[in-house]
């Protein structure tokens, strides 16, 4: 992720300026920088890869449409993940959607070719797959706060602002969510 961000770290303001002029290459840079993190966020929130891909695409389409409204006083990635958060909330509010993610989603996904045959990667993959059902057990507000911190690197204040929750509430959600995840993951299988 750090590497992704460095792709555009050279002149972020310039990229945004070009994006506001609908420069396609500027948007390519934005996609390169954030698509992977957004995908991780959606996948862990919903547990469904295909739906996560669609939502990543939808975020960037919305960015194209609303980039004129972006004011540079806020961090771009906070703005970007706020769009992502609103999308995922809409998705969770749909009657067909369930609050919890598909607990088996991570396990059903076959390891990528690169992961096959590479011991440490496979081990890490297993850890990630183990995490998914536990994420699914968290209330969506806790899951969202934890993942906004992890993938979006939002500050507590930024999460509080966009969720319209008091700062203390956000801190408690992250604290409780992480503590539960760790406890479940570290308990004997």
Partner 1 sequence: MNDAKREREEIDRDEQWLAGVCERSAEIDRARIKRAVRVAIEEQWLARNLSPDAPAGLSRRARHAVREALATAPRAGVRGHRRVLHVWAWIGSGLAAAAAVALTVFGPWRMGATSDGDEASTSFVSAFEEFKNEDEALDQELSHLRAAFYEFDQTVAKGWGEESWEEPVDETSDPTEDGV
Binding-site ranges for partner 1 (CB under 8 A): 1, 4, 22, 24, 27-28, 31-32, 35-37, 39-40, 43-44, 53, 56-57, 60-61, 64-65, 112, 124, 127-128, 131, 146, 149-151, 171-172, 174-175, 178-179, 181-182, 185
Length of the chain, please? 189
CB of 98 to partner 1, least distance (A): 22
Residue 97 or 131 having the CB closest to partner 1? 131
CB of 115 to partner 1, least distance (A): 10
Residue 63 or 85 having the CB closest to partner 1? 63
The tokens describing 42, both together, are 């959606």
- Cα 118 to Cα 39, 111, 126, distances in angstroms: 23, 11, 12
Within 13 Å of residue 164, how many CA atoms lie on the same side as its CB? Answer: 1
DSSP state of 153: -
CB-based contact 99:147 (threshold 8 Å): no
Calpha distance 175→120 (Å, rounded): 29
Residue 22 or 98 having the CB closest to partner 1? 22
CB of 185 to partner 1, least distance (A): 7
Residue 39 or 162 having the CB closest to partner 1? 39
The number of beta carbons lying within 10 Å of the beta carbon of residue 9 is: 11
CB of 110 to partner 1, least distance (A): 13
């Amino acid at each position: 992720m750090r590497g992704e961000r460095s792709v555009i770290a050279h002149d972020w303001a310039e990229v945004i300026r070009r994006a506001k002029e609908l420069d396609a290459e500027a948007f390519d840079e934005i996609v390169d920088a954030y698509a992977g993190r957004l995908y991780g966020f959606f996948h862990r929130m919903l547990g469904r890869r295909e739906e996560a891909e669609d939502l990543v695409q939808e975020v960037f389409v919305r960015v194209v449409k609303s980039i004129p409204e972006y004011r540079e006083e806020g961090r771009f990635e906070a703005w970007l993940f706020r769009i992502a958060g609103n999308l995922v909330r809409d998705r969770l509010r749909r009657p067909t959607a369930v609050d919890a993610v598909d607990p088996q989603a991570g396990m059903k996904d076959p390891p990528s070719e690169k992961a096959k045959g590479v011991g440490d990667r496979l081990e890490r993959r297993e850890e990630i797959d183990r995490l998914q059902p536990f994420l699914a057990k968290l209330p969506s507000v806790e899951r969202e706060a934890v993942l906004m911190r992890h993938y979006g690197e939002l500050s507590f204040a930024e999460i509080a602002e966009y969720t319209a929750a008091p700062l203390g509430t956000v801190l408690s959600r992250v604290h409780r969510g992480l503590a539960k995840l760790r406890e479940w993951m570290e308990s004997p299988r």
